[in-house]
Each structure stands twice: as C-alpha cells, then as structure tokens.
C-alpha cells in the first residue's frame, strides 16, 4: 500500500474517533450539570444518545483493527491476499461510515433534549 494512502486512512480514523469521543465527553459534561433538571423522557433520550455515541466509538475501533489486517494482507504476496486486503478496506470504510451515521443520529437526537427540561414559568400566562 502506498504510504500516503495509509496516512490518509489513519487520519480518517483518528478524526472519526475524535468526533465520536469528543461528542460523548461533551454530552456527559452537559448531562452532569443538567441531570436533575431533565424529565424522565429526557434521561431516557440521554441514555440513547450516549449508547449511539458508544457504538460509534466501537465501530471506529473495529475499523482501526481491520486496517492493520488490511496492511498485513497487502504486504503478503499470495494471490488471495490482494483480494482479502480489498475486502478489509471496504469493511473498514463501511465501519467508519456507520460510525459517522451513529454520531449524526446522536447529534440529531441531542436537540430533542432541550425540550425535555423541567421548567417553571416565571410569569404564568393563561
């Protein structure tokens, strides 16, 4: 494999892991300060969002493992190794796309939490 291709793949994996992990950390920091103000539905939604972000992190980790397997197959010279390397590339790419899908799904759901706070109206309007 070309060195620039390996570097590009490595950067893509690092970026995906940074986005997934950073989103989870930011959400946990937000939840820590807003935990008591969320309704039961808000807490449930928060748990679902964290689950989606955790799945994204696991998918990124799996993609990282498969890229090492991919590099092994491309380094070997048997006839079937090239095909196996191609398959590993597609699997790793699919895992990264899936991770971004879970991050996107989590971030779209994060906006729903804003409407799930226990609020008290200062000026009751009838």
Please say if the pLDDT value at position 2 is more than 60: no
Would residue 105 count as lying in a domain?
yes
Would residue 126 count as lying in a domain?
no
Would residue 123 count as lying in a domain?
no
Q: How many domains does the chain have?
A: 1
**What is the rounded CA–CA span in Å between residue 48 and residue 76?**
42
Please say if the pLDDT value at position 72 is more than 90: no
> What pLDDT sits at residue 33?
75
Band (pLDDT 50/70/90 cuts) for residue 52 is very high
Give mean pLDDT, residues 84-89. Answer: 88
- Residue 49, SS3? helix
Band (pLDDT 50/70/90 cuts) for residue 121 is low
**What is the rounded CA–CA span in Å between residue 20 and residue 96?**
11
Please say if the pLDDT value at position 14 is more than 60: yes
Would residue 125 count as lying in a domain?
no
Would residue 107 count as lying in a domain?
yes
Give mean pLDDT, residues 110-119. Answer: 78
Would residue 63 count as lying in a domain?
yes
């Amino acid at each position: 494999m070309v060195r620039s291709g390996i570097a590009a793949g490595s950067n893509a994996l690092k970026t995906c892991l940074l986005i997934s992990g950073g989103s989870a950390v930011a959400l946990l920091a937000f939840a820590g300060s807003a935990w008591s103000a969320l309704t039961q539905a808000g807490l449930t939604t928060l748990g679902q969002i964290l689950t989606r972000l955790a799945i994204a992190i696991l998918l990124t980790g799996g993609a990282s493992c498969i890229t090492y397997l991919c590099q092994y197959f491309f380094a070997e010279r048997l006839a079937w190794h090239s095909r196996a390397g191609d398959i590993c590339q597609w699997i790793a790419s699919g895992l990264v796309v899936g991770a971004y899908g879970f991050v996107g799904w989590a971030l779209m759901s994060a906006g729903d939490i804003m409407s799930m706070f226990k609020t008290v109206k200062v000026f009751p309007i009838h």
